[in-house]
């Protein structure tokens, strides 16, 4: 059973399009995250939700909008895609209760904007 | 703000060589420290963690000790295998951050037979 799953695994699209990436976790966790990994492998937090409430919103363009329909799902919608949005996007989850928690990551979605 | 610095790669070793990947951190308070590994084409997996000073995390022959006096969490393995080829990320959590992980830039390890 996959703990944290993401769809799609690969996404190739044209500049200006709107796309969504979906994430689901079956671990019963309360908190979910989106991280972006750039071409140099650097990972940075984008958003975090706890029980459907936004708790972290780093400085990302407002073309990126997370949506959490329930605590098991955190989707990422991107409007007006730009070349610089090409990256690997990782979803993660944990209990959100403390600094010692382990975060579990999904397999990633490789987004390529042409 | 909090940050993690790890040695630049890539690191290339022969099988059975000793591995050290250096990691130092800057944080307020008492963060937890983690090593994650990313195998080619895959997501991140927790390799080991330590949650307080002098704790040693270990897994699959890898070890790292939380050294508060030197603000370090160096990753070591006595004898690497080809299957250890991956990108290794040092990360911290807490110590004033909001709950997300703060990652170093990653170190790519290649092990040759």
CB nearest to B105's CB, from A35, A41, A48: A41
pLDDT digits (tens, 9 = 90+) for A61-83: 889 999 999 989 999 999 999 99
A20 bridge partner residues: A77
- What pLDDT sits at residue B8? 83
pLDDT tens-digit readout, B31-84: 999 999 999 888 899 999 999 999 999 999 999 999 999 999 999 999 999 999
Residue B9 near residue B108, CB atoms below 8 Å: yes
For residue A92, list chain B residues with Cβ-Cβ distance below 8 A.
Answer: 44, 101
Q: How far apart are the C-alpha atoms of A98 and A90, rounded to whole Å?
A: 21
Q: In what order do the strands lie in the sheet with A73-78?
A: A4-7, A19-25, A73-78, A64-70
Residue B111 has a pLDDT of 97
Residue B100: predicted pLDDT: 85
End-to-end CA distance of chain B: 41
Per the model's pLDDT, the better-predicted residue between B4 and B94 turns out to be B4
State whether residue A59 sits within 8 Å of chain B by CB.
no
Per the DSSP assignment, residues forming a β-bridge with B58 are B63
Measured in angstroms, the CA of A105 and the nearest CA of chain B are apart by: 6
Is residue A13 over pLDDT 80? yes
Residues 6 or more apart whose CB falls under 8 angstroms from that of A112 comprise A10, A11, A12, A13, A86
| Closest chain B residue to the Cα of A43, Cα to Cα | B103
Is the CB of A99 less than 8 angstroms away from the CB of B98? no
* Average pLDDT of the residues of chain B: 93
The answer, for A95 touching chain B at a CB cutoff of 8 Å, is: no
- Contact (Cβ atoms closer than 8 angstroms) between residue B33 and residue B50: yes
**Residues from chain B contacting residue A98 (CB–CB below 8 Å):** 94
Alpha helices in B57-102 (DSSP H): none
Segment A84-112 mean pLDDT: 90
Q: Which residue has the higher pLDDT, B95 or A113?
A: A113
Chain-centroid distance, C-alpha A82: 17
Cis peptide before B67 (omega within 30 of 0): no
Instruction: Please give the Cα distance from B62 to B18 (Å, whole number).
Output: 11
A99 interface with B at CB cutoff 8 Å:
yes
Distance in Å, alpha carbon of A67 to nearest chain B alpha carbon = 18
Output the six-digit token pair for A72. Answer: 């098991």
pLDDT of residue A73: 95
Report the pLDDT averaged over residues B84-98.
84
Give the H/E segment covering residue A13: strand A10-13
- pLDDT at residue B84, rounded to an integer: 97
């Amino acid at each position: 059973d996959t703990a944290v799953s993401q769809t799609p695994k690969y996404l190739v699209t044209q500049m200006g399009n709107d796309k969504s990436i979906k994430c689901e976790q079956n671990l019963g966790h309360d908190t979910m995250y989106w991280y972006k990994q750039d071409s140099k492998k650097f990972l940075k937090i984008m958003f975090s939700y706890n029980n459907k409430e936004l708790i972290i919103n780093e400085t990302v363009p407002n073309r990126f909008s997370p949506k959490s329909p329930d605590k098991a799902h955190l989707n990422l919608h991107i409007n007006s895609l730009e070349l610089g949005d090409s990256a690997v996007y990782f979803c993660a989850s944990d209990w959100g209760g403390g600094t010692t928690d382990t975060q579990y990551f999904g397999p990633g979605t490789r987004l390529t904007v042409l | 703000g909090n940050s993690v610095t790890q040695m630049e790669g890539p690191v290339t070793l022969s099988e059975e060589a000793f591995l050290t990947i250096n990691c130092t951190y800057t944080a307020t308070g008492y963060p937890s420290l983690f090593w994650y590994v990313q195998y080619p084409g895959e997501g991140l997996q927790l390799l080991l963690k330590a949650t307080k000073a002098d704790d040693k995390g270990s897994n699959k022959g890898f070890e790292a000790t939380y050294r508060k006096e030197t603000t370090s969490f160096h990753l070591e393995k006595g004898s690497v295998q080809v299957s250890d080829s991956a990108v290794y990320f040092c990360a911290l959590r807490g110590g004033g951050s909001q709950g997300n992980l703060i990652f170093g830039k990653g170190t790519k390890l290649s092990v040759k037979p």
